[in-house]
Amino acid sequence: MLEPEIIRSLLSRLRLTWLLKRFPERPLWALFMFVNGFVTIALLAAVAMISHTPFVFPSLGPTAILLFMTPLSPTASPRNTLYGHAIGIVCGYGSLLITDLDKASPALVNGIDLRRIIAAALSLALTSGLLVLLRSAHPPAGATTLIISLGIVTKVFYLIVIEIAVAILVLQGILINRAAGLDYPLWAKRIDESPPRKL
């Protein structure tokens, strides 16, 4: 199982393997996740406080969990993380433009009407399709696109900030996972390009 290997590798690098003799791996792994979750949001919230710009948004949570819980899965690679959220941003905002909702109040204020249903459904459909076509699977991108198509974040400047926040999180993922001794990719792992079996 990969996950406890993260803990074994990290504790070995920090010369703290004695902890493995005193405590089970699962609580140590939980502590690792707790610390990374806290540091992730605290770092981005600090950037938000200093810059007076919202650098914390809901889909960062599942992204952080992917990067630190299953770091070697393709969905947690820097490439898929950055591309996935970028695709979600473009599809979410494009859906707002198509439905003429780019200047409308959020669905939380105005409620859901037919145009908002179309915007939300279209944004998730486009995001899902493009993630497959571009081989950039990253499930939290679905949350990003809905945050935008539901009108929660619509200013172009803030859409750019979302991608910058994702980039900061990816950098943290690279640093932490590499420090743990994992073969975490700087961009993406090579994927076997053999043709898929016909269904």
pLDDT tens digits along 37-61: 999 999 999 999 999 998 999 999 9
Give the chain's length.
199
Taking all residues of the chain, what is their mean pLDDT, rounded to a whole number?
92
- 68 burial level (CB within 10 Å; 0-12, 13-18, 19+): buried
Residue type, 65: I
- Nearest to 145, CA basis, from 164, 130, 171, 124: 124
d(CA 29, CA 31): 5
Q: What is the DSSP letter of 74?
A: G
Confidence category of residue 139, pLDDT binned at 50, 70, 90: very high
pLDDT reported for residue 83: 98
Residue type, 188: A
Mean pLDDT over 113-139 rounds to 98
Write down the residue that tokens 């803990």 correspond to: 7
Phi, psi of 10 (to 5 degrees): -65, -45
Q: Give the CA radius of gyration of the chain.
A: 19
Compute CA distances 118 → 125, 132, 181, whole Å. 10, 21, 45
133 near 36, Cβ under 8 Å? no
Higher confidence at residue 2 or residue 42? 42
Structure token digits, residue 113: 């009407």
Per-position b or e across 19-32, b if 16+ CB within 10 A of its CB: eeeeeebeebbeeb
d(CA 120, CA 26): 38
Segment holding 185, helix H or strand E: none
pLDDT tens digits along 48-103: 999 999 899 999 999 999 999 999 999 999 999 999 999 999 999 999 999 999 99
